[in-house]
Amino acid sequence: MNNRTKARALRFLSNVTLIVGVLQFLAMHSNAQEADSIVPSAHFSNVDFEAPALDKEFHAKKREDLRAIMPENSAAIIFSSSIKNRSNDVDFEFHQDPNFFYLTGLNEPHAMLIVFKEEQRVESFDSKEILFIQPRDSMKEIWSGKTLGVDKAKELLGLKYVFASGMFTEFDFDFYKFDKVFYIVDHTSITDDDKNRRDLFSLKKHFVQMLDSTRKNVDLQMLKEFMATLREIKEPEEIALLRKAIEITCGAQHDLIAKLKPGMYEYQAEAIIEFGFKFQGAESPGFPSIIGGGKNSCILHYTSNRNELQDGELLVIDIGAEYHNYSADITRTLPINGKFTKEQKIIYNIVLDAQNAGIEACKKGNKFWAPNEASTKIIIQGLVQNGVIKKRMDYRKYFMHGTSHYLGLDVHDIGLNGSLAPGNVLTVEPGIYIPKGSDCDPKWWNIGIRIEDDILITKDGYEVLSDCVPKTITEIEYLMAK
Ligand code: GLY
Ligand code: MN
Ligand code: MN
């Protein structure tokens, strides 16, 4: 048999095997679609499903914490993310809604959690919380693998009342009786799978139909605030996951420090970074990697990453691995040839001093904006002293963002932006960006520098969680020369 005949025969055999396998599977599971009923589906009970990243007790506690800040006689409804279509029959990788994950631990679409302030009688049981999830579907599982299903959800997520999503309409929920019904409107478009009356689109549609048509007890704002109140304080087990995401990101930054050289392309630098993420066990980047060389170092959220890296220019590397839903966010700026120029050194040290001042302001009781104020002062001073700007207010041309955001399940995590408190994790990331053509001496043009670290507020001060990547000029030049 020549190679082409062999390949054809193998293809034929594997097609036959696949068809036979599918037919056998269908015969075995002809009734295998999980019934939309409360009856346990015992035939699926031996599925070996990966345990959630955080204990079920963590998520149960968070539901309790939410109840504790909800007003009397209220209900909160939290939806999972939807599946987002990329094009034709290809979807984007699924990413769970952080609030939904925080309260359940479930990483699947087509689900809905109801949290009542007080225990409610629903049908024949009393409960403070009910979860509706996509039922297992043996046909879909052939293509996309196992899903959790109702029974495993009860066991692994620790919720007592879990039902297939199609059951939602069967329950006689009376949302009129509550003083407040909280939910969050997600403005991203949700595809209606018209073959699936249990999809997220249907869940939301049915839920809205059940509401009082005057909407007088509906509140679309407060749930965001409740979730921000909870999520801005990280529990020790969340900090452990953040530490892991940060450690992975540090590892990837080190890989690039060791390999960076002129002639490399931005996408090759990105490949080194994201190889490091995956190789160390991160599920994905927490946001598109920003790898901007030369003029692109001055574009704050540059993500096309297609240019060649030139001798004598700088590279901004703003990256974060996502590990078990938690994301890191670390920026370093490197000289592509391993040595900073005189002008680059001057601007770099202004940014580094500004960052150090910002980090020093990370203390409990300080305002959320205190690091920003401290960093800004240093940047203004540095730009004026070096003649980059004449009027102090002109600093905004070159430093046009704030220094800080919370970090957690979202890279720009939610929080109240009030006073800093132990358990807050925030970034401190000042920068100076001087694009070509700026109103200053051309010797400064195309210098874009950002330095970003992830800071945990503690009882007594702060901890720089990302101090595993060096950032002084001496350290960087030393490491790059090795
Ligand atoms: N990675 C985007 C940011 O630093 O905010
Ligand atoms: Mn960043
Ligand atoms: Mn950031």
Per residue in 293-340, pLDDT tens?
999 999 999 999 999 999 999 999 999 999 999 999 999 999 999 999
Q: Is the pLDDT of residue 44 over 50?
A: no
Q: Which of 331, 332, 333, 355 to mutate to test the pocket of ligand 1 (most atoms within 8 A of CB)?
A: 331
Count of CA atoms in the C-beta half-sphere (13 A) of 399? 31
Per-residue pLDDT averaged across 426-448, rounded? 98
Nearest-ligand number for the alpha carbon of 300: 1
Ligand 3 centroid–CA 118 distance in Å is 39
Q: How far is residue 131's CA from residue 24's CA, in Å, rounded to a whole number?
A: 33
Q: What does the block give as tokens for 282?
A: 């991160």
pLDDT band (50, 70, 90) for residue 50: low
Q: What is the mean pLDDT of the chain?
A: 89
Answer whether residue 194 shows pLDDT above 50.
yes
C-alpha 342/C-alpha 348 separation (Å) is 10
Per residue in 239-252, pLDDT tens? 999 999 999 999 99
Question: Cα dist. 282→247, 278, 325, 407 in Å?
Answer: 10, 5, 9, 16
Strands 125-133 and 162-164: parallel
pLDDT of residue 157: 94
Judged by its nearest atom, the ligand closest to the C-alpha of residue 288 is 1
Q: What is the mean pLDDT of residues 175-192?
A: 87
Q: Who's near 27: CB < 8 A, 6+ residues apart?
A: none
Q: Whose CA is nearest to atom 3 of ligand 1?
A: 329
| Ligand 1 pocket mutation pick from 301, 333, 455 by most atoms within 8 angstroms of CB | 301
State whether residue 135 is helix, strand or coil: coil
Average the pLDDT over 379-390 and give the result.
98
Distance 369 CA to ligand 3 centre (A): 14
Q: Which residues are in the CB-under-5-Å shell of ion ligand 2?
A: 318, 329, 331, 452
Mutate to test the pocket of ligand 1, among 303, 318, 372, 403 (most ligand atoms within 8 A of CB): 318
59-101 tens-digit pLDDT: 999 999 999 999 999 999 999 999 888 898 899 999 999 999 9
Would you say residue 26 has pLDDT above 70?
no
Q: What is the pLDDT of residue 155?
A: 93
| Residue linked to tokens 């109240």 | 416
CB 353 within 8 A of CB 346: no
Q: Which residues of 71-88 are buried (b: 16+ CB within 10 A; e: fewer)?
A: eeebbbbbbbbbbeeeee
Domain 50-230, CATH class in plain words: alpha beta
What tokens were used for 450?
């950002």
Cα 303 to ligand 1 centroid, rounded to whole Å: 12
| 75 three-state secondary structure | strand
List active site positions. 89, 301, 318, 329, 401, 405, 412, 429, 433, 450, 452
- Give the domain 233-481 fold: Creatine Amidinohydrolase (3.90.230)
Backbone angles phi, psi at 388, to 5 degrees: -75, -35
Model pLDDT, residue 185: 87
Q: Say yes or no to pLDDT of 225 above 80.
A: yes
Q: Which residues line ligand 1 (CB under 6 A)?
A: 287, 318, 329, 405, 411, 429, 452
**393 CA distance to ligand 3 middle (Å):** 24
**What is the structure's pLDDT at 17?**
39
Delimit the domains of the chain by residue range.
Answer: 50-230, 233-481
Which phi and psi (to 5°) does residue 35 adopt?
Answer: -65, 145
In the chain, what percentage of residues exceed pLDDT 70? 89
In 3D, which of 82, 199, 79 has the Cα closest to residue 135? 199
